[in-house]
Amino acid sequence: DNEDSSNARYTLSISGSTSVGPLAEKLAEKYEQQSKINIEINQVGSSAGITNSIKGVSEIGMSSRDLTEEEIASGLKETIIAYDGIVVVTHPSNKVGDLTIEEVKDIFTGKVKNWKQLGGDDMEIVVVSREDGSGSRDAFQEIVGYSSSELIKSALIASGNGNIKNTVATNKHAVGFISFEYIDDTVQPVKINGVEATTKNVLNQSYRLSRPFLFVYKMENLSKEGQSFIDFILSPEGQKIVSDAGIIPLK
């Protein structure tokens, strides 16, 4: 609630990833109550956020992908504020509930084309992937072990977790991957190597599909208010908000 904000309050501007954004909003909401600053959060995509932080349009950028060498060369620093778990999902009617990493790879590279081969019904597999450049996709591909050029050509590409979820939820052939926090009963999470996709399993490293959420900034642009917000996020209080939001805290 910003109504009583006066001009005297410092405004901290943050922009970037739409996957980090919702979490950042929740953190900001809490932090604004205890500090005397305003936090503006603009969810414009990781790249736009990184560019904004390089150009000084925003003080802090949010990214769900790793920085490129160029970006690091321009003087950007990064801080990991949380981890995001990635889960393979299918249509709730799908009988296949457990896959090995190898099988996941075979599905996404098109080696396996029918659910029957995996113990499911006799029907075609429809692969749904995120767009090129997406942090989730980069992390997913790296961990599962295939490259973009190996991805099956006919794969549906959806932008954002929500679109993958809705695509999978409306198609009983489909399989895709989304962040933990977006799981609900419209889709069915799949165990990987028998391990369930939970925060606990990520933290004990038995579940391997995860990637970091980053805050990036140029040291010379970072105000003390910005620094103390980052400190707040890394504090136990901040990390509790992270885990309450269904996202994986740092420890």
Ligand X SMILES: O=P([O-])([O-])[O-]
Binding site for other proteins (CB under 8 A): 1-3, 5, 13, 15, 18-19, 21-22, 25-26, 28-29, 40-48, 50, 55, 57, 65, 68, 70-71, 123-124, 126, 131-135, 147-149, 153-167, 169-171, 173-174, 182
22 binds, among other proteins, ligand X, none (CB under 5 to 8 A by kind): other proteins
Nearest residue (CB) to ligand X, 136 versus 210: 136
Give the contact letters, 52-81, x = binds to ligand X (CB under 6 A), - = no: ------------xx----------------
- Distant-in-sequence, close-in-space partners of 237: CB < 8 Å, separation ≥ 6: 30
Please state the closest distance from residue 166 (CB atom) to ligand X, in A.
15
Nearest residue (CB) to other proteins, 45 versus 192: 45
Nearest residue (CB) to ligand X, 96 versus 216: 216
Nearest residue (CB) to other proteins, 83 versus 130: 130
1 binds, among other proteins, ligand X, none (CB under 5 to 8 A by kind): other proteins
Q: Which residue has the tokens 């109550």?
A: 33
User: Total number of residues binding ligand X (CB under 6 A)?
Assistant: 10
Binding positions for ligand X, 99-138, rule CB under 6 A: 130, 134-136
Please state the closest distance from residue 231 (CB atom) to ligand X, in A.
24
How many CA atoms lie less than 13 Å away from 156 in the CB half-sphere?
19
131 binds, among ligand X, other proteins, none (CB under 5 to 8 A by kind): other proteins
The correct pick among 15, 42, 43, 46 for binding ligand X (CB under 6 A) is: 46
Stretch binding ligand X (CB under 6 A), from 15-23, 101-109, 185-193, 218-226: 15-23
**Distance separating alpha carbons of residues 157 and 43, to the nearest angstrom:** 21
Residues 160-182 as b/e (b if ≥16 CB within 10 A, e otherwise) read bbebbbebbbeeebbbbbbbbbb
Nearest residue (CB) to other proteins, 5 versus 235: 5
**Distance separating alpha carbons of residues 37 and 26, to the nearest angstrom:** 15
Nearest residue (CB) to other proteins, 2 versus 205: 2
Binding positions for ligand X, 17-36, rule CB under 6 A: 17-19
- Distant-in-sequence, close-in-space partners of 143: CB < 8 Å, separation ≥ 6: 101, 208, 209
**Distance separating alpha carbons of residues 122 and 100, to the nearest angstrom:** 20
Site for ligand X, rule CB under 6 A? 17-19, 46, 64-65, 130, 134-136
